[in-house]
Amino acid sequence: MLGSHRRCWVLTALVLASSCRGMPEVAGSGAYVGVVRDDSDGDISIALAVQGRFVALYTCTDDPTRQEYPRWLTDGTYAGDGRIRLTHGEWSFLGALDVDGAEGMLVGPGGTMRRWVGMPLREGSVSGLYTALDSGCVTGVIVIDDGFATPPSVRGAWCNADGKVHQVIITRSPPRLVDGRLPVEVALENGTRLLDAAPVKLPLP
């Protein structure tokens, strides 16, 4: 629901050879977004971004209090062969991508598995992964505009260097870009902070 509050985490990691098969070799850059339907945890938005030799996976849930999803990994390179393996603690993502889409399995502690399918960004839509560096931490927002959902799905969260996390609110309904950036706001203890989140640029700061 537009304007609702979300908490998010990002994975950026070294790309290793995976066991995925059947997707052709690819090179270049792109971004893919999709939602995992989960009756126990609620919907999870996932965005995969590839730029040159860097790759990032970002996951967001509907519940801002959940601690169970992975945070950041900032080292990594992408070999350009379309196969991806990301790890963070007890979490891992094994997947593959090509120009038509991406797919993979998010595996959590205890072996819980969530299969994800991501679509490339639609031309003219606001779909994408947006970030803003603020207070020593990277705010992230996933927008999924598939042309059918009204309004588009929006999940995101602000954080600071001390590990505090606050809810991100989209300031425009429906969400739209202003000078190529996504306006968001965060309700902090000392007042509302306005941020302009830009399309993700890798490597992350």
Residues 89-146 have pLDDT tens digits of 777 888 888 889 999 998 888 888 989 999 999 888 899 999 999 999 998 899 998 7
In a shared domain, residues 102 and 164:
no
In a shared domain, residues 13 and 103:
yes
In a shared domain, residues 113 and 141:
no
Domain coverage including residue 189: 128-199
Picking from 118, 88, 121, the residue whose alpha carbon sits closest to that of residue 103 is 118
Asked whether residue 40 is domain-assigned, the answer is yes
Q: Which residue has the tokens 């970002």?
A: 58
Please tell me which residue, 70 or 95, carries the higher pLDDT value: 95
Is the pLDDT at 21 greater than 50? The verdict is: no
In a shared domain, residues 147 and 52:
no
Asked whether residue 108 is domain-assigned, the answer is yes
What is the average per-residue pLDDT within 52-70? 74
Global pTM reads 0.84
Is the pLDDT at 204 greater than 80? The verdict is: yes
In a shared domain, residues 111 and 30:
yes
Out of 13-22, 32-41, 56-65, pick the least confident.
Answer: 13-22
pLDDT classification of 18: cutoffs 50, 70, 90: very low
Boundary of a domain, candidates 120, 136, 165: 120
What is the average per-residue pLDDT within 40-68? 79
Mean per-residue pLDDT over the chain, rounded: 79
What integer pLDDT is reported at residue 20 of this predicted model? 41
What integer pLDDT is reported at residue 14 of this predicted model? 39
- Express as a percent the part of the chain with pLDDT over 70: 77
Distances (CA, A) of 42 to 37, 66, 108: 7, 11, 15
In a shared domain, residues 112 and 177:
no
pLDDT classification of 167: cutoffs 50, 70, 90: confident
Asked whether residue 204 is domain-assigned, the answer is no
DSSP 8-state assignment for residue 109: G
In a shared domain, residues 150 and 189:
yes
In a shared domain, residues 30 and 102:
yes
Asked whether residue 2 is domain-assigned, the answer is no
Count of structural domains, the chain: 2
Boundary of a domain, candidates 120, 138, 164: 120
Is the pLDDT at 49 greater than 70? The verdict is: yes
Please state, in angstroms and rounded to a whole number, the distance separating the CA atoms of residues 71 and 58: 8
Beta strands in the chain (DSSP E): 7-12, 30-36, 44-51, 54-61, 83-88, 91-98, 101-107, 113-120, 128-134, 137-144, 153-159, 165-170, 182-188, 191-199
In a shared domain, residues 115 and 148:
no
What integer pLDDT is reported at residue 149 of this predicted model? 62
In a shared domain, residues 94 and 133:
no
Out of 59-63, 75-79, 81-85, pick the least confident.
Answer: 75-79
In a shared domain, residues 76 and 42:
yes
In a shared domain, residues 134 and 102:
no
Asked whether residue 195 is domain-assigned, the answer is yes
Asked whether residue 4 is domain-assigned, the answer is no
Asked whether residue 205 is domain-assigned, the answer is no
What integer pLDDT is reported at residue 19 of this predicted model? 37
What is the average per-residue pLDDT within 24-34? 69
What integer pLDDT is reported at residue 172 of this predicted model? 82
Asked whether residue 163 is domain-assigned, the answer is yes
Boundary of a domain, candidates 94, 120, 146: 120
What integer pLDDT is reported at residue 71 of this predicted model? 61
